[in-house]
Every structure is written in structure tokens, then in C-alpha cells.
Structure 1
């Protein structure tokens, strides 16, 4: 087990490298799958007790469902059970490299007032869209200073960070949507997604200003810090236009590490990369465990549905705007009470796919569920970070965002009905 711990980061990195090789059919997908599960075992000891319980339940229920379905003659392939979320894990590893391009400026005074609220909301969404969760900690640690982070600062950060799920190709939610809504065209959700993300910024900024009357310490955004996220987003769109046959996921897996090595500011690239692989990559165990567990769980649900086609027959339904709205409301509610969005997506996908929904509409449903529930819940990963690191009570996180969640749910339903 010690050798596992010593080389954990390399198992994680190997998952990305050998996944890309498997896409070219140079090697079997079995190798990156084995590396991902080996990394999961090696990182298991780093998980919080709550994460271990959640993943153990997912695995346990999933395996029990698979065995029960097997007794009925329904067997899923090993690729479906163990490798379904492999592309998304590879993407997560690739995007983690972007943490090496972030910088922190501690010399500038914290801005105040409405412009500080608005700029902080934009900054955390744009930077978080590419660099992901580490941005939240960079912003929050700087904003709280010598005092505690306030609930107003908390919802400006969490809501707007999560809102990037609507439009960012680098966000984990996009990888999940592309997998669980096969055939989804991300480009078609980009404009509605950007509109939803901007609405989240405006809604949250106005609410924060009205509640604090401008008494708000924001984050000192610098224009140059927005260059990398915008540069990468343009690169993804450009290369996808040139090579449409290459999936968005694969493009991100290639571009994110490449751009990091090109743009990182350090005296020694090799030393920084080596430290990152050995010390930073082994810290993403909760994501590996959750997504691998969710893969087993979702295929268990799929197997049960296949075992009882009459019981789960939704042929009398169509994927109408009403069904979209009701499903989204259900996913938001279970997300707020602590079910991770990837789990609710894993449950909803096998039940909705037999209705032959438009893949882009289905993908927008999953992105919306992720963006709203992750930004409003005190019990998913982002909320738990705010509770444990910044002592924001779970109840306050939820009550702060009830009206936000309802408003964004209604808006998503309208956007789906009129534009998608």
C-alpha cells in the first residue's frame, strides 16, 4: 500500500495519458480503467468520512442492483460498469493542471461597493469556469481577511462559480452532460448557458447590494488574470470548428495541460510539474471516488430498468417542457438536500433516454440541475467546503438561496420552452 501512496499522482496522471491513447485505439481502454481504479484505492484514505459513506452506498447499491439484474438475465459489460465515467475523470485531471497558472495578489486593497460585488461575481465565474474549485478558495481566503467570510460573500462566490456549469466546456458538469446525454451538441447550449450565467451574476449582485447597501469587500480582479480562461475557451471553440470529429472532452484533455505548460509562470517548469503530480494530484481522491462510484450506481439503475421494462415504461410520456421543468425541480430539490448532481443525473439519464429526448435539451437539463443545486446546497461538495473551511452554517447557505433557486428554475424552464 505504501508504494500505492508514493506513486498515487502518477496513477492519476496515467489515467489521463492512457485514456488519450485509448481514444486513438493504440491501446485498450482496460489500461486507463485499471489505473483509475488503482488511483481510487490509493486515495481512499484521504476521503472525508461523509464522502466514504456516500461512495460506499453508491457502490453497494450499484453492485447489488447489478447482481440482481444478472439473476434476471441482464448483464452489463465491464466497460459500462467500470469505465463509463473514464472520459470525465481524464478531463478532470487535465483541468486540474490549470491550477498551476493561477496567481494571488495580496498587496492590493479589497474593493468595496456595487462594482466590487459585480466584478467579484464575474471574476469567480470566468476564472472558475477554467481553473475550477481552487478559485473559490483563492477568492474566499483573500476576501475574508482577518475576519470570517460573510454569508453574502459566500453566496456571491458559490452561486456564480456554479453558474459556470451552464456554459464552460472545462467544467466537470459539461463532461457529465456529454456522457449522460449522448449526442448533446455543446455549442447549442453555449448561448443560452452564457445568458443563464450572466443572469446569475446580475441577480446575485443586486441581491447582495440591497442586503448590504454596498458594504461588501470584494476580490481585487486584474484584467490579465482573465486572459487564460478566455484564451482557452476560444481555443476549444476554434479547434472544435476545425476538427468537429474530435469530441469536446478529448480537446480539453489535450489543451488544458498543453496550455498550462505554455502559460505557467515559474522559474522551473519541471520542478513545478513534478510537485504538482506528486502532491496536488493525490488530493483529488473525492472526485475519483464519487465519479467511479456513480458509474457503478448508474449502471445498476440501468440494469434494473432493463429488467423491468413494463414497470419503468414511460412510453405514454414525451420529453415535453412540462416534464423538463418537473424533472429539473426534482433534481434541484434532491441536490439541495445533499445528493450530488452527478448521482441525480445518473438516475435521471437511464429513465429519460428511452423517451428519445433531444440530446441538447437533455444536456441543458443536466447542466441546469448542476448549476442551480451546487450553488444553493450546503451539503454537496461546494457547500461542505463553505461549512468546514469558512464556518458558514448549512441552514444559512440553503435559506440564502431559496429564492435564487426558484427564480433560476423558472428561467431555465422558459429558456428550454422557447429556445431549445
Structure 2
């Protein structure tokens, strides 16, 4: 990407973050003001995206625009256009805020320690990737994966650990994009409820993966990442802070609290630990690092247009596609559909937005829908060869899609049973 374009977009997205936090915590202003810089940045980002991303985004924009025009022709008001202009600014705010934590990660996680081999280090690697991923998102996969692949090619077992450690975060993490999109697509759902039910599902997924690691042939010869308590205190601390803040300020957006906590933490760390060099590091991240999220930013903006277009068409036709009763069975069917859509290459942002647009207006229990969307996101990106994390692992570490698929189908089958049981228990 052109350095000048990257720098311009970095400052535009920082402006969006500042407007969003100002509106949320100080003086309320229309949300679309924070969305305008996102759309401008998306316009500049678009030419630098991969071909597959461009095609998907063009389809989303065309479908969304068609819906908006259809609604306009049927005399709907301008609220759907304003919703499009917002560009999912709450989610993008969280994405940019959490992105600043990469500065801390690259200086605290990387180590010169030798890589230990065996089942125990592999399980510690799984837990470490999971806890880091819960806060740092895809950064955790790249940091740990690059270290493991430094001297020899990544083994399939190591690739599975990276993939699942990251994907399992979607079940519960308030810092994960999945949670942000879910809270937006299932209005009325509560962060605390989603976390309370999501953590046991995560533990089951981690335990199942650990059991598979123990059964891996020649596991004692496979290297893990040297994780320790010293490396893991930060994600745990930030998660606790956000959850506590939400209890103190229940009316504040969780996404804004996540962004505020992330930016405040990294600012204090840079000032107290790095001093003057911290300013240089922060400036470099804004002008270079933020551009690494270009694909997600443009996708979130396009998804906002799609969601508005779908809502506009449904309002124009006065159509209700949701089942009369959205209970455990309907939730499980929705979950299976979400995983199936992921296998076609549909990004979870798109499928979650579609499910929310279709189901949310008729759902009486938004937490049930929220749990379903989180489960669909996690299992979808784990199973689909076309998910962003899978594509990154396949291309960066030369692991074949069919290899990952062969290692995952039993896990997905077992987790569908776990998710079905959880949805049923929630409805009791």
C-alpha cells in the first residue's frame, strides 16, 4: 500500500475513533459523523485489497444499494441511508482501538527463548494463543506462528492450535469483532449473559482440542511456544477491566469501553515505559499499522450498507422471515446455516448481519440470538477453508486447506453437539 495513503487513512480512522468516544462518553452527536471518516478511508483502502475481498465487497455494496433504492422508491424515510453512513462505526472503533495493543504485543510477547517440545508446551501454546487472541485478535496468530515457523515449517498440529486458539475466542471475548457485530446485530443482548454462557463453551472447545493434542502421534517431537504468566497478564487484566466498566456504566456501549480501555492502556504503557520513543511508536502505528486492518474496515462499511439495504427491503415489503417461535431448535438450525454459509466463503460479518437483519425484529430473546451468532462465527471460521484466519495460516505457513479440514471435521461435529446443548440449557 502507498505509504501516504496508509498514513492518511490511519489518521482518518483515529478521527473516527475520537468522534465515536466523544459522542459515547461526553456529548452525544449523530453516529454518522463517526462513520464519514470510515467511508473516506474505505474509498482509499479499496484499490489495495485482494481480488477476492474486492469481489465480496462489491457484491455487498451492490446488494445493499439495491435495497436502499428499492426502499426509497417505496417512500421510506432517510434513516436507512443514515444507518449506512454510520459504517458500523462502533465495531470499527473497537477494531482500531484494540489494534493499538499490537504495539505492546510485539515488545512483550516475542522472546528469544528456545522452543520446548511435547504435549504440555503444545497445550500451553493453545491456551496462550487463546488468551492473546481474546484481546489482540489475529495478531496473536501471526506472532506465535512466526516464532514457531522460524527454524522449520509449521506442522499441521501447530496450525490447528493457532486456528482453534484464535477461533474459540469468538464464543466469549468482548474484544473480538464477533462480539461487536453480535451486540449490533442482536439488539438487546447483554454482554454479561453472552460471556457467562460463552466461557463454558470455550472451555469445552479448549478441552476437546487438548485431548486431540494428547492423542497426536509423535506429539513429543512437536514444538510449542514458550508461554508464561508474565506474557498473559495483559489480556486477562483488560478483559476484567472492560467487564467491570460495563457493570458500572451499563448504558455505555461495550464496544466503546473496549476501545477506550485499549487506547488508555497503551497510552499509559508508552508514556511510563517507552517515554519519548513511545510517541514515535504510536505515530508509526497510526501511519503504518492501522492499514493492516484495511480489509476489515472496508468489509464492515460494506456490511453496514448490506444490513441497511436488507432492512429497507423487509420494511418496504412488510415481510417477516423469522420463525414464529425462535427457540432452541430454531437457534440450532440457524447455527448450522451459519456454518454452511461460511463453507461457501461468506465472511462471518456478512452472515451475522444477514441473520440479525432477518431474525432480530421477531426474536423475543435477543441473548439466544446473540449466542447463536457467536457460535456460528467461531465454528464457521474454524471449519471454512475460506475464512480469513484459515487463508492466513494456509498462505503464510504453507499448510493445505484439506489438511486443516481433515483435522477439524470431528471437532466441529462435537462442538455442534455442545452448542446445541448450551442453547437448550439457556432456554430452560
Q: Please, what TM-score do these two structures have when normalized by structure 2? A: 0.93
The question of whether the paired residues in 2 share the 8 Å contact of 1:336 and 1:398 is answered with: no
SS at match of 1:211: coil
State the Cα distance separating 1:7 from its structure 2 match. 1.8
The question of whether the paired residues in 2 share the 8 Å contact of 1:168 and 1:174 is answered with: yes
Determine the structure 2 residue equivalent to 1:95.
98
Residue in structure 1 matching 2:309, options 290, 295, 300:
300
The question of whether the paired residues in 2 share the 8 Å contact of 1:16 and 1:90 is answered with: yes
Deviation per residue, 1:376-413 (Å, 9 max, x gap): 22201111111221121222222321111121122111
Unaligned ranges ≥5, structure 1 = none
1:266 aligns with 2:274: yes
In structure 2, how many angstroms separate the alpha carbons of the residues matched to 1:345 and 1:26?
A: 27
1:356 aligns with 2:363: yes
State how 1:37-52 maps to structure 2 within 5 Å: 37-52=39-54
In structure 2, how many angstroms separate the alpha carbons of the residues matched to 1:365 and 1:184?
A: 11
State the Cα distance separating 1:299 from its structure 2 match. 1.6
State the Cα distance separating 1:54 from its structure 2 match. 0.9
User: 4+ residue runs of structure 1 moved beyond 6 angstroms?
Assistant: none
Judged with a 3 Å threshold, the aligned counterparts in structure 2 of structure 1 residues 354 and 243 are, in CA distance, closer, same or farther, namely closer
Judged with a 3 Å threshold, the aligned counterparts in structure 2 of structure 1 residues 194 and 75 are, in CA distance, closer, same or farther, namely same
Judged with a 3 Å threshold, the aligned counterparts in structure 2 of structure 1 residues 306 and 28 are, in CA distance, closer, same or farther, namely closer
Residue in structure 2 matching 1:130, options 128, 132, 135:
135
The question of whether the paired residues in 2 share the 8 Å contact of 1:159 and 1:376 is answered with: no
Judged with a 3 Å threshold, the aligned counterparts in structure 2 of structure 1 residues 345 and 227 are, in CA distance, closer, same or farther, namely same
Judged with a 3 Å threshold, the aligned counterparts in structure 2 of structure 1 residues 307 and 233 are, in CA distance, closer, same or farther, namely same
In structure 2, how many angstroms separate the alpha carbons of the residues matched to 1:377 and 1:216?
A: 25
Using the TM superposition, name which of 108-117 and 133-142 deviates more: 108-117
1:201 aligns with 2:206: yes
SS at match of 2:216: helix
Using the TM superposition, name which of 301-310 and 114-123 deviates more: 301-310
In structure 1, how many angstroms separate the alpha carbons of the residues matched to 2:332 and 2:136?
A: 31
State how 1:339-354 maps to structure 2 within 5 Å: 339-354=346-361
Using the TM superposition, name which of 150-159 and 5-14 deviates more: 5-14
Q: Please, what TM-score do these two structures have when normalized by structure 1? A: 0.94
Determine the structure 2 residue equivalent to 1:17.
18
Deviation per residue, 1:225-246 (Å, 9 max, x gap): 1111111111112222222222
Unaligned ranges ≥5, structure 2 = none
SS at match of 1:41: helix
Determine the structure 1 residue equivalent to 2:163.
158
The question of whether the paired residues in 1 share the 8 Å contact of 2:11 and 2:286 is answered with: yes
State how 1:203-282 maps to structure 2 within 5 Å: 203-214=208-219, 215-264=221-270, 265-266=273-274, 268-282=277-291
Using the TM superposition, name which of 244-253 and 327-336 deviates more: 244-253
SS at match of 1:212: coil
In structure 1, how many angstroms separate the alpha carbons of the residues matched to 2:189 and 2:321?
A: 23
Cα RMSD, aligned residues only: 1.9
SS at match of 1:147: coil
Determine the structure 1 residue equivalent to 2:180.
175
State the Cα distance separating 1:146 from its structure 2 match. 2.3
In structure 2, how many angstroms separate the alpha carbons of the residues matched to 1:47 and 1:185?
A: 34
SS at match of 1:401: helix
Judged with a 3 Å threshold, the aligned counterparts in structure 2 of structure 1 residues 351 and 121 are, in CA distance, closer, same or farther, namely same
In structure 1, how many angstroms separate the alpha carbons of the residues matched to 2:90 and 2:130?
A: 24
SS at match of 2:385: coil
State the Cα distance separating 1:308 from its structure 2 match. 2.5
In structure 1, how many angstroms separate the alpha carbons of the residues matched to 2:407 and 2:316?
A: 42
State how 1:395-406 maps to structure 2 within 5 Å: 395-406=402-413
Residue in structure 1 matching 2:82, options 79, 83, 108:
79
In structure 1, how many angstroms separate the alpha carbons of the residues matched to 2:67 and 2:204?
A: 41
In structure 1, how many angstroms separate the alpha carbons of the residues matched to 2:165 and 2:4?
A: 40
Using the TM superposition, name which of 282-291 and 74-83 deviates more: 74-83
Residue in structure 2 matching 1:120, options 125, 130, 143:
125
